[in-house]
Structure 1
Amino acid sequence: MKLLIVSDSHGWSNELADIKARHEADTNTFIHCGDSELPASSPFLDGYTIVRGNCDADSSLANEQIKRIGHLTLYVTHGHLYSVKSSLMNLAYRAGEIEADIVCFGHSHLLGAELLEGTLFLNPGSIRMPRGRQEKTYMILRLIENRATVFIHQLDGTELVELRQNFTLPKSI
C-alpha cells in the first residue's frame, strides 16, 4: 500500500497534477493536507483526500478526514487548529481521541516524520514555500504489514534518499 502526501501548495495546480500523474500507476491514496488555495471542485484536486487549511477559502472543505486503511486509522488535518507550529501535543491529543495510527498534517511547512507513542506523525513540508530547508517536498508512505517507510521527494520527483525513514507500527495494515 502506498500513500502520497502533499501539503501547502498555495495556489499551485499544475504541480499537483504533475505529482499525481508521476505516481498514479503505483499509489493507492493521494492526500492533500490543506492550503491548496483551490476550490474543492478544482480538477487539480481530483483523486486527493483534501482538508481545509487556514488559507483555504472554500468552506465546503472539511477541517479533518478520518480514513480506514486496512486495520489502521489515518487522520488528515491541516494543523492550524492544533497549533502545530509550537508543539504536536494538541494534535497528539486529537489523534488519541480517534485512535489514529497515522496522522498527516501540514501548516508549518516543516518536513518531518516522527513516531510518538505508537502514532506516526507525518508532515510532508511544502511543495511551494518550504521552511527549514530549500527543497520543495512531498512524501510517499509505503505500508507493508506493520512496517512503514517514508520516502521524501522533491517537486521534480527526485527522491532525497538520505531522508528515507523506516518505522515499525504497533498494528499491521
Structure 2
Amino acid sequence: MSKVLVVSDSHGLTKELEVIRERHLKEVDLMIHCGDSELILDEKAISGYLTVMGNCDFNGGYPMETTSEVAGKKFFITHGHRYSVKSTLMNLKYKAQEVNADIVCFGHSHILGAEVIDGILFLNPGSIRLPRERLEKTYVILDLLEDKIKMSVFEINGREITDLAREFAL
C-alpha cells in the first residue's frame, strides 16, 4: 500500500509545512505541494515536497507542472491557474488525458474537492492558509490500494475530518 500527501496554497507558511512533513514523513511515499507556497526552492520548509509553481510564486524556480508515478498510478501535478480551474476542469482533463494521468493534483481555487471524470481522479486539497467554502485549513492523504483510492482529509492541526473521507474506483 502506498500513500501520497497533497497540500496546496500555503502562501508563505513555513512552520506549518514542516509540522505536516514531520507528522506524516514515515507513512507517505510522496509529498506533493500544488503551488503558491511563496517560498524559494532551497527554503527548508518546502524540502521533501514535490512542488510546482503557482501564480503567486515569483522567485521559486519550480516547474509549472510535473508528473510522478506511485504504485503504478501516474500523477499530474499543476497549480491550475493556466488551466482556468476556477471555472472548469475541462482544460485540465484534456491535459491529463494527453499525459495519461490517473490522478491530477491541483490548487489555485483554495476549494477542497475531489471527483472522478472519465476515469481520472481530480483532487484539490484546499488551502492550509486561506481556505474557501470551508472553515477548515485542509490537506489530503491518498491511500493507493489495488482496486481503489481512499482519500482522507486532515486539518492543519492533524485532526482527520472523517466525514469528508471518500473512496474512488479508478
The normalised TM-score by structure 2 is 0.97
Q: Does residue 64 of structure 1 match 2:59?
A: no
Q: How far apart are residue 112 of structure 1 and its match?
A: 0.3
Correspondence for 2:14: 13
Aligned residues: 169
Correspondence for 1:85: 86
Indicate if the aligned counterparts of 2:7 and 2:32 stay in contact, CA closer than 8 A: yes
Q: Deviations over 1:126-159 (max 9, x none)?
A: 0000000100000000011121000000010000
Q: How far apart are residue 59 of structure 1 and its match?
A: 5.2
Correspondence for 1:104: 105
SS at match of 1:37: coil
Q: How far apart are residue 36 of structure 1 and its match?
A: 0.1
> What is the one-letter code of the residue matched to 2:35?
G
> What is the one-letter code of the residue matched to 1:164?
A
> What is the one-letter code of the residue matched to 2:86?
K
Q: How far apart are residue 16 of structure 1 and its match?
A: 0.1
Q: Does residue 143 of structure 1 match 2:141?
A: no
Q: Which 4+ stretches in 1 moved above 6 angstroms? A: none
Distance in 1 between residues matched to 2:162 and 2:117, nearest whole Å: 23
Distance in 2 between residues matched to 1:144 and 1:138, nearest whole Å: 19
SS at match of 1:162: helix
Distance in 2 between residues matched to 1:74 and 1:118, nearest whole Å: 13
Structure 2, unmatched stretches of 5+, are none
Matches within 5 A, 1:15-30: 15-30=16-31
Correspondence for 2:36: 35
Distance in 2 between residues matched to 1:59 and 1:152, nearest whole Å: 27
Distance in 2 between residues matched to 1:146 and 1:24, nearest whole Å: 25
Distance in 1 between residues matched to 2:41 and 2:111, nearest whole Å: 24
Correspondence for 2:131: 130
Distance in 1 between residues matched to 2:59 and 2:67, nearest whole Å: 19
Structure 1, unmatched stretches of 5+, are none
Q: Does residue 55 of structure 1 match 2:39?
A: no
Query: Alignment identity in percent?
Result: 50
Indicate if the aligned counterparts of 2:125 and 2:140 stay in contact, CA closer than 8 A: yes
Distance in 1 between residues matched to 2:118 and 2:87, nearest whole Å: 19
Distance in 1 between residues matched to 2:145 and 2:151, nearest whole Å: 12
Correspondence for 1:117: 118
SS at match of 1:25: coil
Q: How far apart are residue 70 of structure 1 and its match?
A: 3.3
The normalised TM-score by structure 1 is 0.96
SS at match of 1:20: helix
Indicate if the aligned counterparts of 2:38 and 2:60 stay in contact, CA closer than 8 A: no
Correspondence for 1:155: 156
> What is the one-letter code of the residue matched to 2:34?
C
